């Protein structure tokens, strides 16, 4: 039996004692009324643990071992990058759409190099890397008019991984602690088309795990829950309407909703039309909803929108330059959706967006880009609304925030200070400790 007593914690604005027993909240009582050895919280806020409703853990672990290619001097970054044990250089976060095999050869011809676009949907390889892969038989291999590969591979992660030397699944052991230091106690992995081995490996982290990418015929591994089926509406080519309707119906017939990746107006129109044809499931959700025209907002009622305003803090200055000015108001809508009765959950999309939830909360409240200017300020949430976007249950993104009451899971985050000052300047440095299933995973 595990027993934990948290003395003088702020819960829902009131200072209380909280007893945890056998992984559950056993009691919430006035300060000093519960007896036994205790952690003195000193009035610090005690919250339900945060839920990142959309991220990619294997990619995040791999990104930690990669060179950052988002800066202005790609050649210097590659030159300074260490190779893996097989001589390959792996880069992530390249922001442009102009790089191909010839450009990469000019920058770094001496070692095999693969660089991932910031979106996560595209890899660019140099000639040495292409030559090492063998037959380029994936449909995502882009080719020039004469049939030669351009070095650009779209949505070919599994195919590429199978051909890379020593490219097994990355070690996730350090990620659980990193996530816990932000107060994250549950995650939804949104990697599509997960293999059984990849799904099983994800349960190595201590956070509660929900999987979107398991095919409908695959049973989730012990320690994981299955969520809606991930469907990607790729920028590089939308699926035929009938094909999308059939996939939605297949998921619904298996008792699962769908979690559909949509980052363009066109893909959102296609998705809504397909849902009208296939019918809706209570667990259906839209992933990203990066661009939502105002006229489509009413059609989103009944769906959850899992969005990432952290992208504004990460690359909003690029959005200002690359997205037509008339569409700036449509980027990563939050307030308009909530006011229309659409359930909104926040997430990171890490490693493609900032994994720190406090950065995302601040971005949702300020809508400020890296250059300091606001973008779509009318879509800003107040900080408490933004925090609520991380407090919904993993199986109900956009639902009401969880509360600390007797009988609930003891997945908790303790802050150094009360909630009001913490939300006035959101930061992970406010996190004092994180409890998952009644046990400290970080701090205290």
* Residue closest to 58 by CA, chosen among 260, 185, 195: 195
Q: Distance between CA atoms of 243 and 253, rounded to whole angstroms?
A: 15
Same domain, 26 and 82: no
φ and ψ at residue 100, rounded to 5 degrees: -140, -170
CA distance to 121, 291, 301, 389, per residue, from 97 (Å)? 12, 19, 34, 32
- Asked if 95 and 82 count as a contact pair (C-beta separation under 8 A), the reply is no
Q: Does pLDDT of 297 surpass 90?
A: yes
- Could you read off the pLDDT of 402-439 as tens digits, one per residue? 999 999 999 999 999 999 999 999 999 999 999 999 99
Order across the sheet with 149-154: list the strands. Answer: 67-68, 89-94, 113-117, 122-125, 149-154, 141-143
Residue 32: CATH number of its domain: 2.30.40.10
Q: What is the pLDDT of residue 167?
A: 62
Same domain, 284 and 338: yes
Domain count within the chain = 3
Q: Which domain holds residue 139?
A: 66-163
Residue 75: CATH number of its domain: 3.10.310.70
Same domain, 441 and 383: no
Q: Distance between CA atoms of 123 and 100, rounded to whole angstroms?
A: 9
Same domain, 258 and 232: yes
Same domain, 89 and 221: no
Same domain, 389 and 316: yes
pTM here is 0.91
Same domain, 85 and 41: no
Q: Distance between CA atoms of 315 and 95, rounded to whole angstroms?
A: 9
Same domain, 221 and 341: yes
Same domain, 252 and 362: yes
- Asked if 316 and 369 count as a contact pair (C-beta separation under 8 A), the reply is yes
Mean per-residue pLDDT, 177-187: 98
- Could you read off the pLDDT of 147-156 as tens digits, one per residue? 999 999 998 8
| Domain end among 163, 182, 207 | 163
| Domain end among 163, 181, 216 | 163
- Could you read off the pLDDT of 18-51 as tens digits, one per residue? 999 999 999 999 999 999 999 999 999 999 999 9
Same domain, 118 and 177: no
Same domain, 256 and 308: yes
- Could you read off the pLDDT of 338-396 as tens digits, one per residue? 999 999 999 999 999 999 999 999 999 999 999 999 999 999 999 999 999 999 999 99
Q: Token digits for 35?
A: 């007896």
CB atoms within 10 A of CB 68: 12
Residue with tokens 């050895």, as numbered in its chain: 37
Same domain, 107 and 144: yes
Q: Distance between CA atoms of 148 and 363, rounded to whole angstroms?
A: 43
């Amino acid at each position: 039996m595990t027993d934990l007593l948290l003395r003088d914690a702020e819960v829902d604005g009131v200072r209380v004692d909280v007893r945890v027993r056998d992984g559950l909240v056993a009691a919430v009582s006035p300060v000093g009324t519960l007896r036994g050895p205790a952690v003195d919280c000193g009035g610090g806020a005690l919250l339900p643990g945060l839920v990142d409703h959309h991220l990619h853990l294997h990619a995040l672990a791999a990104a930690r071992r990669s060179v950052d290619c988002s800066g202005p001097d790609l050649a210097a970054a590659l030159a300074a990058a260490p190779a893996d044990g097989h001589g390959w250089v792996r880069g992530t976060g390249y922001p442009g759409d102009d790089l191909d095999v010839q450009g990469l050869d000019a920058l770094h011809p001496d070692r095999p190099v693969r660089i991932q676009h910031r979106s996560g949907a595209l890899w660019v390889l140099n000639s040495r890397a292409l030559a090492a892969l063998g037959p380029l038989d994936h449909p995502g291999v882009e080719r020039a008019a004469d049939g030669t590969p351009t070095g650009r591979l779209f949505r070919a992660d599994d195919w590429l991984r199978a051909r890379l030397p020593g490219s097994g699944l990355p070690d996730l052991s350090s990620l659980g602690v990193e996530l816990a230091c932000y107060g994250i106690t549950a995650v939804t992995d949104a990697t599509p088309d997960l293999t059984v081995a990849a799904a099983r490996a994800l349960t190595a982290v201590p956070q509660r795990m929900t999987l979107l990418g398991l095919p409908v015929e695959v049973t989730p591994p012990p320690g994981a829950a299955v969520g809606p089926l991930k469907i990607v509406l790729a920028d590089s080519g939308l699926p035929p309407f009938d094909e999308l309707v059939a996939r939605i119906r297949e998921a619904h017939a298996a008792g699962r909703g769908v979690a559909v990746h949509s980052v363009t107006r066109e893909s959102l129109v296609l998705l809504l039309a397909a849902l009208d044809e296939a019918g809706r499931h209570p667990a259906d959700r839209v992933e990203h909803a990066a661009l939502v025209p105002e006229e489509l907002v009413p059609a989103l009622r009944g769906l959850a929108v899992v969005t990432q305003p952290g992208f504004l803090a990460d690359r909003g200055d690029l959005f200002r330059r690359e997205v037509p000015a008339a569409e700036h108001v449509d980027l990563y809508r939050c307030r308009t959706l909530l006011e229309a009765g659409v359930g909104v959950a926040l997430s990171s999309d890490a490693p493609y967006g900032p994994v720190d939830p406090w950065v995302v909360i601040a971005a949702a409240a300020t809508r400020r880009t890296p250059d300091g200017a606001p973008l779509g300020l009318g879509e800003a949430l107040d900080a408490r609304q933004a925090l609520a976007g991380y407090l919904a249950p993993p199986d109900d993104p956009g639902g009401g925030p969880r509360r600390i009451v007797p009988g609930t899971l003891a997945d908790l985050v303790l802050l150094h200070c009360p909630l009001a000052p913490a939300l006035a300047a959101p930061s992970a440095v406010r996190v004092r400790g994180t409890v998952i299933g009644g046990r400290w995973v970080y701090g205290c």
